[in-house]
Amino acid sequence: MSTIRLTVNGKPVSVEVEDRTLLVHLLRDHLGLTGTHVGCDTSQCGACTVHIDGRAVKSCTVLVGQANGTSITTIEGIANGDELHPMQAAFRDNHGLQCGFCTPGMIMASIDIVRRHGAGLTEDILRQELEGNICRCTGYHNIVKSVLDAAGRMTAAQAAE
Amino acid sequence: MGIEGIGARALRKEDKRFITGRGRYVDDIRLHGMTYAAFVRSPYAHAKVSAIDTAPALAMPGVVAVLTGKELVDDKIGNLICGWMIHSRDGSPMKMGAWPAMAPETVRFVGQAVAVVIAETRNQARDAAEAVVVTYEELPAVVDMREAVASGAPQLHPEAPGNVIFDWTLGDEAATEVAFNAAANIVSLDITNNRLAPNAIEPRAAIAEYDPAEEHFTLYTTSQNPHVARLVLSAFYNIAQEHKLRVIAPDVGGGFGSKIFIYPEEMVALWAAKKTGRPVKWTADRTESFLTDAHGRDHLTRAEMAFDKDNRITGLRVKTHANLGAYMSLFSSSVPTYLYATLLSGQYDIPNIFAEVISVYTNTAPVDAYRGAGRPEASYVVERLMETAARQLKVDPTELRRKNFITQFPHQTPVIMAYDIGDFNASLDAAMKAIDYAGFAARKAKAKSEGRLRGIGVSCYIEACGIAPSKAVGSLGAGVGLWESAEVRVNPVGTIEVLTGSHSHGQGHETAFAQVVAGRLGISIDQVQIVHGDTDKVQFGMGTYGSRSAAVGLSAIVKAMEKVEAKAKKIVAHQLEASENDIVIEEGQFKVAGTDKAIALPMVALAAYTAHNLPDGMEPGLKESAFYDPTNFTFPAGAYICEVEVDADTGKTSFVNFVAADDFGRLINPMIVEGQVHGGLAQGIGQALLEHAVYDENGQLLTASFMDYAMPRAEDLPSFNIQHTMTECPGNPLGVKGCGEAGAIGASAAVINAITDAIGNNDLAMPASPDRVWHAIHG
């Protein structure tokens, strides 16, 4: 057993867990943050994607020890109160989700994709970048539309700052 | 918010919880005192279980119980059933082998459970499952369908000699023979419809709880049809009586057919919850999903089409071997029979059709309905034949189709179905226009001059949806009726709850169903709450599959709404001293037509519940229920055209364009409909290019993870060009046909027809991987 200290969605957290605990299970089982999902256990589907210190990481492949001392953001932590993150709003506005199971991972991965590519994000680049996130419902058509829409909103917001 | 009735692209009410991480899926639920189940599964495809030593596992930390198949059978938990009776051509009933939820004696596919460990934590359960010592006596296995029916093959079930479950036929064999004998041309094709894994991204999961004082079970499960689950669990599996079992299917992360069936794991969780006195949770990992979720498709077919000298189709003859795996899953027998051969007429006027289907046991996972279920296999046969025929007869494939289209409705096919309405030329026109079919020859020539192989492929599919008229399916062997139920509760303040037996696992019912109700009353969809997925709340329901939720589920809601509106009008007429025939509903007001007299919906509702001033003899309240049984199937149809380029050096296929022109009847929410088409297309294209569940000759599943099974990724797919045409369905009050499966039914043939056109070789099997395409080009 080890004591793990990290920041989750801006709040300091200290938990005593088995060393072999995966970050996704710490979030889901110990912190009750069930928005982060497990779809494959093998880092293929991306449903478990969260941000560790601002970068998208698949939390089913991170031992809690590796996350000690980091700052984690999950799907529950990206809205500003009642105000949705532009990526969340764009998924809703463009019907970018159906069953919703891959959606939290898609949103977290997509925020990072937009952060890294900014205004240079094209449909081709986006489709390549989404390689690590699998959706079985949407055929990606509306996910691509959502992320490109959000990229516009996010870069416009950055320009305004 | 304004009124978003039928036809509005209303944004989804359910989305907020999903995009903020507040969805509530089965694995998100934790009960007090909950334990975790881990199954011990066979590593062999066929073996005797000679001994199970549970002692080492019982000694592990946190272990509550280790239960085996023998104990399950001793407790008289029933075998899994197949709920659709099929008779062979000789009149004998299908040969169903016994399938206990955990194998006491014999395992017949890799992954079949033999024991279960119940422990305090997930990791403790999994650790202990590895410590259960099972002694197997390995038996020879058979995986290939043709080998399974050959003499000397390993035998799976004593009930099914030769591994044949049924040898079933449909259509007139003699008349079809006559047509072929008189044919001017015959086109034939050997077709493999590749085996697929459904792969909803949410793995299956179950939580079972038992209350010994009430002798009552609660099951949370990833189900497309919780009422059917309760019915089967109580009527056949001896788990609990129906009134002592509550089944809840909360948010469910995709189904695609695979979550229709009641699986061994749910049964075991319920049984174990009672035995241990603790709630039991089980959640599949992805490899368990691959090994144990019912797979889809897996047909080998020889198909022949006869033409007269004018290129009119005179006959179709099909012989199919269908792999049903090691056991008969819940609706497995209906898929390669009444959901398949009945659609072999496609969009064409074919006077003579004969189909023979031989379904076979093999040492592989059970096979059952997967998005489209039989209809993709039928459509693939017909549309590959049409394209092949056009090439052989040297006519344009669209012209050959038009020449043979059914244009008069209703149309009775020789294989049971009576098509009610359609306009196949209209959807083909729309698709050809959208893809600029006329300009294709020039595009192909230009690509060729630049050293690239370009091809175009057409697929004109039809499906039977809105499943299904109960009397009709009963006469064909179904063990259930396929109506739907609904209840509309107008609350005393005028808000509305609609309880439906349909289940939403991504289809957007909370929005689309609310649009219909809100539109009728002229109120906001925010005033309407759709309630589903809980047998304690909803009276009954048959669930969601077969593109039935709009055509059947919504029709039941409309029927209940009509009763509510009729009662409300009586109340208003009484209070305003008008005739109920003069009351109209507009913008949330019940008005006396042609006057300024009106009562708003909340006041009507309040009047119904206060009951101070109701017509004499009227019961208080404003709540009505209805059952709706469809009069016919619905027949969505459309034309898909795919344009591809193939890299001759690598065999890789790239999409230039993909157009889908569908006739779904009236659309409730076009945004949701288009999303359904996108997803279906992705699964159809996935089948054509990428997906294949592959077993080796020993029955080991080689594609048991997302590393090995090629799921379509964003990069593999194009953006789609979606077109709609419309003939209103005459069979239901909304004129809707259903849209959930079309993409998966129509897309595969369009893709393969396009690739074979590009490479000039018609001999190409799915999935058309770069390797296979390269060999088709270079030999």
pLDDT at B1 over 50: no
- Would the CB atoms of B12 and A95 count as touching at under 8 Å? yes
Which CATH class name applies to B15-20+483-628?
alpha beta
Range of the structural domain that residue A17 is part of: 2-77
Q: For B462-480, write each residue's pLDDT tens digit.
A: 999 999 899 999 999 998 8
Residues of A in contact with B655 (CB under 8 A): none
- Would the CB atoms of B202 and A39 count as touching at under 8 Å? yes
- Would the CB atoms of A101 and B672 count as touching at under 8 Å? no
pLDDT at B276 over 80: yes
CA distance A158 to chain B (A): 22
Segment B528-546 mean pLDDT: 95
Q: Among candidates A104, A47, A66, which has minimal Cα distance to B16?
A: A104
Map residue B295 onto helix, strand or coil: strand
Distance between CA atoms of A37 and B734, rounded to whole angstroms? 37
Q: For B690-721, write each residue's pLDDT tens digit.
A: 999 999 999 999 999 999 999 999 999 999 99
- Domains B15-20+483-628 and B31-139+203-292 in one fold: no
CATH code for position A154: 1.10.150.120
Segment B748-771 mean pLDDT: 97
- pLDDT at res. A159: 80
Residues of A in contact with B122 (CB under 8 A): 25
Which residues have a Cβ under 8 Å from the Cβ of B536 and sit 6 or more positions away? B246, B248
Distance between CA atoms of A23 and B178, rounded to whole angstroms? 68
Map residue B374 onto helix, strand or coil: coil
Using an 8 Å Cβ cutoff, are B348 and B382 in contact?
Answer: yes
How many alpha carbons lie under 13 Å from residue B55 in its C-beta half-sphere? 2
Using an 8 Å Cβ cutoff, are B398 and B386 in contact?
Answer: no
Say whether both A7 and A25 belong to one domain. yes
Please name every residue paired with B592 in a beta bridge, in sequence order, or none if there are none: B583
Domain boundary among A77, A104, A130: A77
Q: Classify each residue of B297-309 as buried b or exposed e, where b means 16 or more C-beta atoms within 10 Å of its C-beta.
A: bbbbbebbbbbee
Residues of B in contact with A98 (CB under 8 A): 254, 506-508, 675-676, 679
Q: Could you tell me how many CB contacts below 8 A there are between chain A and chain B?
A: 181
- Would the CB atoms of B675 and A137 count as touching at under 8 Å? yes
Domain boundary among A58, A77, A96: A77
Contact residues, B window 387-446, toward A, CB-based 8 Å cutoff: none
- Would the CB atoms of A100 and B506 count as touching at under 8 Å? yes
- pLDDT at res. B153: 98
Query: Under CATH, which number does the domain B142-193+297-397 receive?
Result: 3.30.365.10
CA distance A47 to chain B (A): 8
Domain boundary among A19, A42, A77: A77
| Residue of chain B whose alpha carbon sits nearest to that of A78 | B20
Q: Using a CB–CB cutoff of 8 Å, tell me whether A116 touches chain B.
A: no
Q: For B230-262, write each residue's pLDDT tens digit.
A: 999 999 999 999 999 999 999 999 999 999 999
What ipTM did this prediction achieve? 0.98
CA distance B32 to chain A (A): 13
Domain positions in chain B are 15-20+483-628, 31-139+203-292, 142-193+297-397, 420-462+635-779
The topology under which CATH files domain B31-139+203-292 is Aldehyde Oxidoreductase; domain 3 (3.90.1170)
- pLDDT at res. B68: 98
Q: How many structural domains comprise chain A?
A: 2
Q: Using a CB–CB cutoff of 8 Å, tell me whether B679 touches chain A.
A: yes
Say whether both A156 and A119 belong to one domain. yes
Say whether both A73 and A99 belong to one domain. no
Percent of residues in chain A assigned helix, strand, coil, to nearest 5: 45, 20, 35
CATH code for position A62: 3.10.20.30
Q: Measured between CB atoms, which of B122, B251, B678 is closest to A100?
A: B251
- pLDDT at res. A160: 80
Q: Measured between CB atoms, which of B252, B680, B717 is closest to A140?
A: B717
- pLDDT at res. A156: 84
Query: Under CATH, which number does the domain B420-462+635-779 receive?
Result: 3.30.365.10
Contact residues, A window 31-70, toward B, CB-based 8 Å cutoff: 33-42, 44-45, 47
Contact residues, A window 76-105, toward B, CB-based 8 Å cutoff: 76, 79, 84, 88, 91-93, 95, 97-104
Q: Among candidates B95, B176, B168, B191, which has minimal Cα distance to B356?
A: B168
| Residue of chain B whose alpha carbon sits nearest to that of A60 | B285
Whole-number average pLDDT of chain B: 97
Segment A93-103 mean pLDDT: 98
